[in-house]
Structures are given as structure tokens and as C-alpha cells.
A and B are shown apart, each in its own frame.
Chain A
């Protein structure tokens, strides 16, 4: 986590920082036991945790709340996980666990949404010597100090990034409720503790197998809609094109616009495909497919959703505008997470070692807008400690502004110090005093 810095003994720096973090996590688990979620059917779950030395323990079964809290207090893990699945024997080996069901889960990773604000707040530091890299792109940069090309990208989420994630959550919830008929009470939304959101669906869909989960996640992503539409309407179009060619030949011969209706349609369509070309899409427009507008009207499901999004009135809709609609309306979840029923997933109420923020649940779906992870999930104490910060932008935690910092020793509240140590851009220079 902490890279060697040339004026320090790397080993000590690492162990000072780790013990400071461990101390911070321990205090959290001591003060906030009530935050730790006791999952339903706890005895059917597999638990696992990581230690600060990077090792991991899996296949644990836990009897009850007390045993869970004891595990946290005694081991002070860096990360704690619980299976999404319910097993007959959770502590046995994979082939003997006996899968009974699994929560249907969705993972929304803000990083995958490629927020535009990233460039304004993320930083890059050299993985070898911790030198801050000023270049915008981490792919082309080289460390000016040691010449290394191994660059760490450190994310400093801002409110804007978080709102992007919230928007995907809301779209997901809408599809789950409207299309899948999931009761809002069966949808649980969590901030992941770092840079994303987790959504759990309980109830009837916990019985789906992996192939069915793949279908559900493809539905939510709108994957496969475009292909099917192309298949269905693509051929017709090429017939139409031939007819149009014929029409234009005959009309040039007679130079008389007798088939005015057709040629008008053709020119509208032509205008559209020219538009597409000007956006750099669809080359000669030969693979554009135009779809009759009415098929989107007054129907349920995806087609209806697209129909409500598109502007009314047009006789045909271009494939491009359908693709845009799908992009805007689908919820961008990570498909691999949803189809993996054997995954162990971060336990709510525990700390995320990438940030030292807690994974926490939104009490009500309607609270999502007012939810602020940098306050609501920042639960480490505010006693002050000294840390050395390599580099950090300006950021806000618990309503207080910090940074920017550049190679300096700073006295910071423990929650901020942990936040920076977790991100690998700060370390403790001396043993922490308890």
C-alpha cells in the first residue's frame, strides 16, 4: 500500500501506517458495532475477510451477530465480505457448500461511467518512487524523477461523480420496479465505501440461476435490443433501398415527382443519414436501419421505454437514435458481478480499505439524493495525527475542506489521515500513540 520513499526506511513507514490504520479501524468497529449489518439467514452465508498484510480468509460460517462482532474486534480486518449466496453448509469447500439461492446483486462502478470531472480531481503518482505525475493521462506519462512508466491512478471522487452513480442507481431501480415487478421493500441500495453503489434484490429473484441472471443483466443494460431490431428491420430496409433506387431512376427518366410520398420519405431519410455522417458515424449510411416509429408506442418494457424517450411525430426512427436512447435509459451495471452467484461481497457497515469509508445502506430509496458519502460514510474519529502527504488535491470530508498537499507533513483528523493512507498517498512517519 505504501511505497518506498528514499529518505525513509520503507519497512517502518509501512508498518507505522498500517498500525495507524488498524487502530482507526479498530476504534470504528468499537464505536459503531450497531452499523454492522447482520445479513438475513446469517448461518447460510459464507464470510471472508482480508487482513492488513494482504492475506485473505474465506469459507467462514458465522452463527450470529455476537460471533460476527467478535470476529471484527479480534481480527480488525481491512475488508469484510459476505456471500450473496445462501448455502446449506457455507464453511465447506465450494463443491460441498450446497447453493440454495443468492441475492440478485448489481454493482455500479463510477469509474466505468468515465466521469468527465476525473481529470479535475484525480491524481497520478509514480508507482516506484511516489513522485506526483503532472501529466493528465496516466497511460503516456513517465515519472520525471525515476523514469518509471508504472503510474498509479488515485481517485478522489467528488459530488459530481457520486451523482453520476446515483443516476444509474435510479435507472436500475426504475427498471427493477416497472419491468421486473420488484417491490421497493425488496431493493436495498448501498454506497460501496469507495467509488460505487451496490444494489441487492431480495425475494423471488433469489432463485434465478446464472444463465437467468445473465439475461436479467443484459436486459438492464439493454444488450441485444439493437441486434434484434437490425435483424428484424434491416432486410426490409435494403429492399426499400432497392425500391428507392428504382424510384429515383424512373423519376429521373420522367423527371416528374409522381411518387412524391415515397421520394419525400426517401429525402427525409437521406437527410438523416447525412446527419449521421457528419457525426462521423455509419460511413455511407448503408448499415443504417430505420424503424417504424409506431412499434414503440403504447407498449410495455424496453420498446415502450424507448418510445417515451424519443420525440414523437417522426414516421421512422434511426438506429442511432435508438442506440442513444438505450445508452441513456439503461443502467450501467457490471454484468460479471451479477452472474457470479458465488461471489463474496463487501458486508454493509464495514470499512473499505481503499478509502476507509464505510459501506452503508441508504435507509430509504428516496434518500438517495441527499445521501453524501463524504459525510454519511465517513465514520472514523476526528482525533488528530501527523502524517506525511505525498500529494493530494483539494477535497472535502465531513464537511471540512482539505488540501491541496504536496510533499508535506500535516496534522489531520484521523478520518482524513486514514483516507489518504488508504489511497496510498500518505504515511505515518512515526509509531502512532494510542
Chain B
């Protein structure tokens, strides 16, 4: 590995595809039973513990680039072996936050130009396809093309991210480092989740040393699952139509969707077969969440209360008239959000 690429891998280990993780370990898993591997196994364990505790993994001494990468991969293996959805998300979030810190650092004007360019090319361009221009006239500013900006910003609901409230000039959006990084943070999270999902190891035959740690971490995770009801929910986002995704995003970010938006979300979720419990859960992040009222309303929509009418999910044209439709080409040919994803698949491109 060249020094620049190993530096990048140490900071952003997820840029490597999960398929390569075992190859990257470069040795067979049994070797982790050896005493000289103890420190890297420790590091991996600490990463997972940080995720469980919801704190930033921030080791005192900076390990070698190789050790950083290996500990990330081992941590992924342990997380997978523990088989907890909660931990999955926690780990991805924790690692995404860590990467976010590195990104801010790498993109800051004080960072070495080569390192900055490297990060821009490998992460923002390489992974997210965003061409970022460093605007040297003003040290804190980056420029990205309007269409790249919109690809990510349309997931945010806050006024702050509306194009109209940005500096737009000659086809570029001007961003501070903080905003630049914030724009892709959720994508980093999604990427790490994807890496975890695609990582395949023979979990039945893990080396003793790892197995021991895994058992211990499992205990901590169980506690976590019990506490989870107090934690913000991160909602699974695949396969939902754009109108629903937008509301989920808003909730995830702690925003308050409108009443009509809530009804749409609730009737949709009931329509795809979620139960009242699961639907109420979705609203837990709303700033004005009130468990009793939410449950009452959802039960009402589900037809469990009042006139016992089950409310059905509004049609796309109704949704559009409420300004909640964000039709994408995947919505082609459907007239109700419930039909999303059920229509015949066709190639785009």
C-alpha cells in the first residue's frame, strides 16, 4: 500500500469494499489467536464498545495505518457475529461520525494540500461522485455543482438546505466545510451499513480470541437492546416511495412533519402490513412526540377505534395535491404509494 492510500484507508476504512476485507487482513483469521495480535483485537473491541456506548472511538495513540484498517474489519466481523440490529446501526453511526471528524479535518484550509486533494478525490469524488472545487479565495468555502448538491440536499427538510437559501453562482453551490461534510454524512452511514451487510465470514469458526470478546460484547448489547426504547430510532429506508422517504427523513432528523404527512406515513405503513406498535415507533423521534396521543391516532387510522373505519393510504394524486409527492421515475405508472416497487421492474439508463 502506498502511504497516501494507507493513510486514507486508516481514516476511512469503509472505502474498501467488504468483499476485500478478508483479503486485506492478509492472514488467516486463526492468527488472531496469537498473542502478538492482542493489541489489534483490543482495538477492534474498543471500537465496538464505543459504538455500544454511543461515544466516539478516539484512541490515545494513533495506531499504524494497517492496524487501524485491520481493527475496523475485525470490529465489523464482531458486530456481524453478535447479530443485533441495534448494534448494527450503532456501529455504523459511530464509525460514520468518526469519519465525519476526519473529513472536516482533512478538508479544512489548514490541512496539507495533498491530503486535502486526496480526500476530495477518493471520498467525495470517488465514492459520492461529487466534484468538489476548493475555493481558495475564501479558505472556508467549497464549490460543488448544483446538480450534485441537489442529489443529496433534497433529502433534508430544513429550510437551511433549500437551494434558495444557499449561495448559488454560475452553476455552483458554495458550501462551508461543515455543510459539505453534513451533506454526505448520511451517505457514509448508509455505506457502512452496506459494508456490514455484505461482509461474509464463517461465523461458526471464528478464532477463540475473537469468540471470547464476542461473548462479552453480546452481554453489553443485550443491555443496549433493553435501553433502546429510550434511544432515537433510525429507520430502515430501502424500498419506500419518495413521498414516504421524505417524511421518514424528516422524522429521523428530528423535524416535525405536518399532520397530513403523518397521516400519509401512518396509513402507508399500516397498508404495507406494519402493526400499530411499529407505526407508533416511527413517530418517536418527532420533537412533539406524545406516546398516548400517537397511539390513539394510529389506532384510529387502523380502524381499531371510533367508527372502526380503516383509513386507506391516499392516492398519488391526493398526495401530490398536498404537496407531499416527490415523484421519481420509480413511481412511473402507479396511482397509490402502496403500489410502489410492485410495478414491473424496468431498466433505466
Contact = CB atoms under 8 A, between A and B. Distances in A.
A172 to B, nearest CB: 15
Given A212-B150, A215-B150, A100 B333 contact: no
B162 A215 contact: yes
A301 B147 contact: no
Contacts of A218: 162-164
A218 B159 CA distance: 12
Contacts of A207: 147
A96 B346 contact: yes
B341 to A, nearest CB: 12
A161 B132 CA distance: 44
Given A179-B170, A210-B326, A302 B147 contact: no
A402 interface: no
A205 B163 CA distance: 15
B154 A215 contact: yes
Contacts of B334: 95
B306 interface: no
A5 B235 CA distance: 64
B227 interface: no
Contacts of A315: none
Contacts of A181: 146, 169-172
A300 B167 contact: yes
B168 interface: yes
A219 B147 contact: no
B329 interface: yes
> For the complex, would chain A's binding face be called helix, strand, loop or mixed by DSSP majority?
helix
Nearest to A93: B333
Interface residues of A, number: 42
Contact of B344 (A96, A205, A303): A96
Contact of A211 (B146, B326, B349): B326
Contacts of B328: 209-211
Contacts of A97: 332
7 closest A-B pairs by CB: A181-B171, A95-B333, A300-B169, A212-B150, A99-B329, A211-B154, A181-B170
Interface of A: 88, 93-100, 178-182, 204-205, 207-212, 214-216, 218-219, 222-225, 227-228, 231, 299-303, 339, 341-342
Given A96-B333, A100-B348, 19 more contacts: A88-B347, A94-B332, A94-B333, A179-B170, A181-B169, A204-B171, A209-B329, A211-B326, A215-B164, A216-B146, A216-B150, A218-B162, A218-B163, A224-B165, A227-B159, A300-B167, A300-B174, A301-B174, A339-B327
Interface of B: 145-147, 150-151, 153-154, 159-160, 162-172, 174, 242, 246, 326-329, 332-334, 343-344, 346-349
11 contacts: A95-B344, A179-B168, A179-B170, A181-B170, A212-B154, A216-B150, A216-B163, A219-B168, A224-B159, A227-B159, A301-B167
